[in-house]
Structures are given as structure tokens and as C-alpha cells.
Amino acid sequence: MSKILIVDDEAAIRSALKEVLEYEGFSISEAPDGETALKMVLKESFDLIFCDIKMPKLDGLDFLSELKKEEINVPVVMITGHGTIDTAVEALKRGAYDFIQKPLDLNRVLVSTRNANKHDALVKETKTLKKKLNKVLGSNIIGQSKSILEIIKMIDTVAPTDARVLITGGNGSGKELVARQLHEKSNRAAQPFIEVNCAAIPSELIESELFGHEKGAFTSAVKTKPGKFELADNGTLFLDEIGDMSLSAQAKVLRALQENKITRVGGERDMKVNVRILAATNKDLKKEIASGNFREDLYHRLSVIVIKVPSLNERKDDLPLLAEHFLQQIADECGQPKKNIQPAALKLLQQHDWTGNIREFRNVIERLIILSGEIIDDKAVKQYATPYFN
């Protein structure tokens, strides 16, 4: 249900609008002046605001300016009994969505309401899509700790080359982010970045996923399908959790790296590929080699450069920066104002053993955003985060 705020110093106007809009299923709040309305919108979010222009304390035009100053993006329909073209133009300049004169035409009110809600939904959807796109294509590594600064420096040095890079670190530590940064700063940035999660693909399907297959190669191969190596041609192929790849697939990957050629499953023709390989693992590959689970020759092919991503426990000084980043990121994704977190709350979070690394920390921040009030304080952490800690 959409929430609408009606701002007018005339109680009769507020009552009439409320009655009509509640009948249409909207949730209505009221404010007698702009100053009261501003306090309300700073505490809770609204989907639409109807606002009079001539009001005591803070008039409608100044109210619009304050919304803009506070970066509160909500459609505002101005209503006035003193309408002129100049006033309407000024209201639109200050960010008003629409302008309706008194006495109010209730059909006009309903049309404007529906249009404003559709417009707001499209704006929020666009913001969410942009944020998701930026998350994929424009991510930055957040942090100022010594270990993170060293990684950033290494990325800047290695990215312009075609050197293969092995990225190690625990689950949720940010290995994929490092891989994306390597691609985005490389000469292949305009070409595809293709990711394969080797742990998520059954061993009997991994070869088909990587190298593709010909029609009829196996029972379910009803048509020819290109593999990830082909899709990543001239770009970057990121083999995530490569320590979980079968020995059979490892042998074929090794051949592809040695000869820059692949053969589809069920095929006989070799195909040339030009792919930069980035790999990541949360396993100790030297131990896996000793156990016979990983090929030593493939390890040496992949580990021209090794980047070890530190755990969050090893870089707790970065936690305040990460918190601010996620608070803003989640707010943008949801189309809501960013919440603030108090130092006492951050101090409590820094005392936690973050076994789940960045992924766990982001989940906790999202939980705090959903369950806490306007400010995330130490009480909120104790109530909503601490019970979930191990």
C-alpha cells in the first residue's frame, strides 16, 4: 500500500483529500505546515506528497527546497488556491512532480496520484538496476588497511598484463571482487568477463560447461552449445573455487592453457581461444596436490601471480568504511534514505569473530537496517545482531 502525506494548513482540505485517497486504498498521514511535514519525512518514507504552497512556518516552495537539500526523492504534487503560471513554473523548477489548483478536481487528484506512483516506481526500479549494474561492473575494493592497499597496488601492476592470477582466501572474503577489478583495469575490459563456479557444477557437467558440446554428445545434448572458454574469447575467464574441479576437467583446462585450444565435448575440431584465466580458491592447493586431488602442473600454470585476500578479522580497521559503504549501497538498492551507525555500535561489531568475512558482515548490516530505528546504535547491535553471532 502506497503511503501519502497531505500537507495543508486547511483542515477541511486535508480531510477531503484523506477521505478520497483512503477510499482508493492509500495509507494517509497529515501535516498542518511545511515544518511539521519536513520532520515527518526525515523520520519515515512516503511514496507521494500533496503539499499546499501558502502555509505558515514553512511554505510549499521552501519545503521543496528542503527536500532537495536533504536528498529526499519523493514525488510532490503542489496544490494552491493562488495559482499563477509563474508559481507553477517555480514549483516545477524546485522539483515538484505536478501542480493542481484549488478548488480541487478529485478526478484530477486521482489521475495525478496514479501517475506519480507509476513514475516513482519506475525511478526506484531504474536506481535499483543501475545499482546492480554498478555492483557488477563498477565495484571498488573498500579499505585502507595495509593488506588491502597492497592488494590494490598489486592489481594496478598486474591488471594491464595477461598474466594468470590465482586468488586465495576464505569464503566471502572478496575474491570475486579482486577478479573483477583485474578485468576492469585490464586491456580486455571492453570484452566479456565470464565466471564459472566450479563448486556449483556437477563433475559430470563441468567439461560441457567449460568447453561446450556438440549436438548428440550425450543424452540431453539436443543442440550444440558453446562453452565458457568460447564465450570468454578475447576477454577474461574467472574459474571460481577451482580446487573443487575434477581431475579430468583439470587435464583439459591444462591443455587449453598450454595450447590456447579447446575441443567441445563430442567434437573433433580444435578451436583457437584467446582467454585470460583468473582462478580463485578457498583451499590450500599445495595440500590438495599432496593428497592427489589437484594437478601440480596446473597449479604452476595458474599461479604466475598469487594474490591472497585477507579475512575480515585480519582487517578490522576497515570495518567502519565497509559499514558506510554497505549502508549506502543497501539504501540505494531499496530506494530509501541511508541510515547512520553510531561509533559504539561499530565498536561492538569490531569485537565479533567474522568467520563469514565480508559476506557475513553485509548480511548483518542489512539486518540492522531492516530492524533498527533511524539510527543504528549499540542497543540495536545487541538486540538484532549479537544473538546471531556464534
What is residue 248's predicted lDDT score, i.e. its pLDDT? 87
> Where does residue 217 rank: exposed (0-12), middle (13-18), buried (19+ CB within 10 A)?
middle
Compute the average pLDDT of residues 261-281: 91
Beta-strand ranges (E) seen in 24-123 are 27-31, 48-52, 76-80, 98-101
* pLDDT classification of 117: cutoffs 50, 70, 90: confident
- Residue 390: per-residue pLDDT: 56
Query: What would the CATH number be for the domain defined by 3-135?
Result: 3.40.50.2300
CA distance 271 to 339: 53
Q: What is the CATH number of domain 314-388?
A: 1.10.8.60
Q: How confident is the model at residue 72 (pLDDT cuts 50, 70, 90)?
A: confident
Q: Tell whether the model's pLDDT for residue 265 goes beyond 90.
A: no
Closest CA to 143 of 155, 134, 132: 155
- Residue extent(s) of CATH 3.40.50.2300 domains in the chain: 3-135
* pLDDT exceeds 90 at position 287: yes
What is the spatial distance between Cα 299 and Cα 129, in angstroms, rounded to a whole number?
A: 38
Q: Which regions of the chain carry the CATH code 3.40.50.300?
A: 146-310
Q: Are 4 and 48 in contact (CB under 8 A)?
A: yes
Angle CA(355)–CA(361)–CA(363) in degrees, nearest 5?
115
Q: What is the pLDDT of residues 186-239, one digit of tens each?
A: 999 999 999 999 988 887 788 889 998 888 888 777 788 889 999 999 999 999
**CATH code for 146-310?**
3.40.50.300
3-state secondary structure of 165: strand
Instruction: Tell me how far apart the alpha carbons of residues 339 and 368 are, in angstroms, rounded to a whole number.
Output: 10
Cα separation, 111 vs 94, in Å, equals: 22
Residues paired with 50 in a beta bridge? 6, 77
Take residue 57 and report the three cell numbers written for it: 512556518
Instruction: State how beta strands 276-281 and 305-308 pair.
Output: unpaired
pLDDT of residue 57: 85
pTM for the full predicted model = 0.64
Closest CA to 183 of 137, 118, 124: 137
Provide the pLDDT for residue 127: 57
According to the model, what pLDDT value does residue 136 have? 43
pLDDT at 24: 87
Least confident range of 143-157, 211-225, 245-259, 291-305 = 211-225
Cell numbers at residue 281, please? 580458491
Cell of 367: 539486518
Strands of the sheet containing 305-308, edge to edge, are 193-197, 236-240, 276-281, 165-168, 305-308
Q: How confident is the model at residue 129 (pLDDT cuts 50, 70, 90)?
A: low
Contacts 24+ apart (CB under 8 A), 149-152: 151/178, 151/307, 151/309
Ranges 112-126, 172-186, 252-266: which has the least confidence: 112-126
Say whether pLDDT at 2 is over 60.
yes
Closest CA to 216 of 278, 280, 264: 264
Residue 251, pLDDT score: 92
Q: How far apart are CA 305 and CA 163, in angstroms?
A: 7
pLDDT per position as a tens digit, 331-390: 888 878 899 999 999 999 999 999 999 999 999 999 999 999 889 999 999 999 887 775
Cα distances (angstroms) measured from residue 345 to each of 64, 124, 340, 371: 34, 30, 10, 14
pLDDT band at 45 (very low <50, low <70, confident <90, very high): confident
The number of beta carbons lying within 10 Å of the beta carbon of residue 356 is: 18
Which pLDDT band, with edges at 50, 70 and 90, does 137 fall under? very low
Q: Which of 163, 196, 210 shows the shortest CA–CA distance to 182?
A: 163
Query: How would DSSP label each residue in 232-251?
Result: TTTSEEEEETGGGS-HHHHH
CA separation, residue 134 to residues 124, 180, 321, 329 (Å): 15, 12, 18, 10
Band of pLDDT at residue 128, cut at 50, 70 and 90? low
